Amino acid sequence: MPCEGILYIELHADDFGATPSVNKNILSAWYAGALDGVSVIANGEGIYEAAKEIKTDINRPLRLAVHLNLSEGRPLVDTQLVKLLVDKDGYFLHSFLGIWTLWHSCSKLQRQELLEQVKAEWREQIRRVIDLFFPRPVTRVDGHIHIHMLPFLFPVAVELAREFNIPEIRISREIYHLSFKDSLGFHFVLNNFKHLLLNVLAGPARKIAKDLVSPDAVAGILYSGHMTYETTLAAVKAAKKAKLNWLELIFHPGRATPLEANRWKGKQAFLARFYRAYHRDVERDTLIRIAKEGLF
């Protein structure tokens, strides 16, 4: 944990539990000593295997977070209870901007109903991770695609963290850093937009979650899916320059197989491309290289 005047660097992997192959790749980094924590997708197809594998080495340190999800797979609660969140086939319907648009198109009564549906689903997601991974404690909540940072959803995440006595929440404030080699491409332009938006949302979020603990900053938004060795070093350099005490480096080192692409159907089909991206192998290799070199 962080000490005043010393930068604590946390190496963290998102999407644990999504599929067996995603699990396998994340676990390879963990066994190499390259991970401090993982964020678990409670409705993932690999959730049971993930919990079983973690329990086989209970003495190896690993911080657990619940990766609150409204955009991928099916809900854990009955679809009739979350009609505003799913399509006709029972799959989550909304992207980050999609659910924000829905919120602004809703009446006051519909907004209240939306929040109740989100709370019911997220409560079940948290409960499942706590139950499956016991006796390892859940110490943090965060959001898949940072969806928990939306201003109408963040208070729900905070309320549930308090309800389950979870002490930490990810506040997606990212310190700006550049790795010119990895700054080419349209993905970087889009990620800059999300970086700016999340940084704006981070200020009010920190006030709402004042009794919860969170890192000073994260890295892994600007270069989401492209956290190379050079990018990681650039983030750490920027954090040291800013005299931060705690930096969470967010990686996505779990790559899915072609056969697992069937998990993402309908409007979610495009997600298979992200889970199949070779950059996920690059991120896993980056983590393992960091561990071998003993950088942090």
| Structure confidence at residue 135 (pLDDT) | 95
Cβ atoms 251, 283 nearer than 8 A: yes
Measured CA to CA in angstroms, residue 107 lies from 102, 155, 238 at distances of: 10, 19, 43
Q: Is residue 289 included in any domain, yes or no?
A: yes
Report which secondary-structure segment, H or E, holds 285: helix 279-293
Confidence of residue 265 (pLDDT cuts 50, 70, 90): confident
**DSSP bridge pairs for 77:** none
Mean pLDDT of 44-67: 95
Q: How are the residues of the chain apportioned to helix, strand and coil, as percentages rounded to the nearest 5?
A: 50, 15, 35
Domain assignment present for residue 169? The answer is: yes
The verdict on residue 57 lying in a domain is: yes
Nearest to 101 by CA among 173, 155, 172, 150: 150
For residue 252, give the DSSP letter.
Answer: -
Residue range 118-135, pLDDT digits in tens: 999 999 999 999 999 999
Q: What CATH number has the domain bearing residue 173?
A: 3.20.20.370
Q: What percent of the chain has pLDDT over 90?
A: 85
Per the structure, how many domains does the chain have? 1
- How far is residue 150's CA from residue 141's CA, in Å, rounded to a whole number? 14
Which helix (DSSP H) or strand (DSSP E) does residue 25 occupy?
Answer: helix 20-31
Span 12-16, average pLDDT = 98
Q: Which residue has 């705690």 as its token pair?
A: 246
pLDDT tens by residue, 149-198: 999 999 999 999 999 999 999 999 999 998 766 665 667 788 899 999 99
Give dist(CA 270, CA 257) in Å, integer: 15
Q: State which residues form the domain around 55.
A: 8-293
Residue 186 in tokens: 């349209």
According to the model, what pLDDT value does residue 180 have? 66
Stretch 132-155: mean pLDDT: 98
Q: How far apart are CA 92 and CA 74, in angstroms?
A: 6
Two structure tokens written together for 38: 């993982």
Q: Which residue has the tokens 């690993």?
A: 62
Which residue type is seen at 3? C
Report yes or no: 147 and 71 within 8 Å, Cβ to Cβ: yes
Per DSSP, the three-state class of 65 is strand
Q: Given this model, what pLDDT does residue 1 score?
A: 59
> What is residue 169's predicted lDDT score, i.e. its pLDDT?
99
- What pLDDT, in 10s, does the model give residues 204-236? 999 999 999 999 999 999 999 899 999 999 999
pLDDT band at 270 (very low <50, low <70, confident <90, very high): confident
| Cβ atoms 213, 2 nearer than 8 A | no
Q: Per-residue pLDDT for 76 more than 90? A: yes
Interval 81-98 mean pLDDT: 94
Residue 123 domain flag = yes
Asked whether residue 3 is domain-assigned, the answer is: no
Mean predicted confidence (pLDDT) in 65-94 = 96
Whole-number pLDDT of residue 296 = 80
Residue 1 lies in a domain: no
Residues 65, 170 contacting (CB under 8 angstroms):
yes
* Cα–Cα distance measured from residue 101 to residue 189, given in angstroms and rounded to the nearest whole number: 21
R_g over Cα of the chain? 18
Quick check: 142 pLDDT over 60?
yes
